[in-house]
Amino acid sequence: MARKPANTTSSAGGKSARTRQRILDAAAHVLSRKGFAGTRLTDVAEVAELQAPAIYYHFPSREELIEEVMWSGIANMTDHVQQQLDALPPETGPLDRIEVAVESHLRYQLETSDYTTAAIRNAGQLPDNMRARYEAEANRYGDVWRRLFDAAKREGALRPDLDARAARMLVLGALNWAAEWWNPRRGTLDQVIRTAKSLVRAGLAVPEAVEAEPMRKPQRSRARKPAKTASNR
């Protein structure tokens, strides 16, 4: 499916900025499909419709290009999910907020951004010398989810027998893994989101809350411009 490019440049104008963005978009596309080891600058240049040497004007090395794509993927996801949460009414319950984060994560990852798919699929493949910037941003995304689960526990919405950290990491792991198995020919994204939200609520909520809360259909969101993807803390 068509993916939206990420807004990773600070300047919107100028041929140089547009070329840099084309390179990044192409690299995200290739990296999301071929992985860290299989991503070659010749493939990136072909997708970007450029000569390979042109890439070096903007990125001194293959590693710096991949590092930028990986950082952008998790940074864009963090901003997108936080924006969806910030738009909720103040009275929104903690489990409802978690459901919104679940939907936002899945929709952005699977429908919108090659960058985020690339970041999630290649997080474990980055060499140590390329991890610092990415992991700092991954921790920022993890903090979004940590706050959600801490609020659910604090407000008594989380089952008391659950370890909040373990539950959070299991939920995020399941969401991230969807990038590996989901195929639109075998089920719609709305079906995946509806199932994920139902499972998350049933697994996290105290029994009375599950019985009282009907399963809601996922809300379609407009495509937005544009993942280790969560903190282990």
What is the model's pLDDT at position 1?
Answer: 42
What is the model's pLDDT at position 227?
Answer: 41
What DSSP string runs through 9-76? Answer: -S---SHHHHHHHHHHHHHHHHHHHHHHHH--HHHHHHHHTS-HHHHHHH-SSHHHHHHHHHHHHHHH
Q: What pTM was computed for the model? A: 0.80
In tens, the pLDDT along 55-104 reads 999 999 999 999 999 999 999 999 999 999 999 999 999 999 999 999 99
- 216 three-class SS: coil
What is the model's pLDDT at position 12?
Answer: 42
Q: 152 Cβ partners below 8 Å, 6+ apart?
A: 94, 95, 98, 158, 164, 204
Which domains, from first to last, does the chain contain? 15-212 (1.10.357.10)
The pLDDT-based confidence of 15 (bands split at 50, 70, 90) is confident
In tens, the pLDDT along 150-165 reads 999 999 999 999 999 9
One-letter amino acid for residue 2 of the chain: A
What is the model's pLDDT at position 11?
Answer: 42
Cβ neighbourhood burial of 96 (10 Å; 0-12, 13-18, 19+): middle
In tens, the pLDDT along 23-52 reads 999 999 999 999 999 999 999 999 999 999
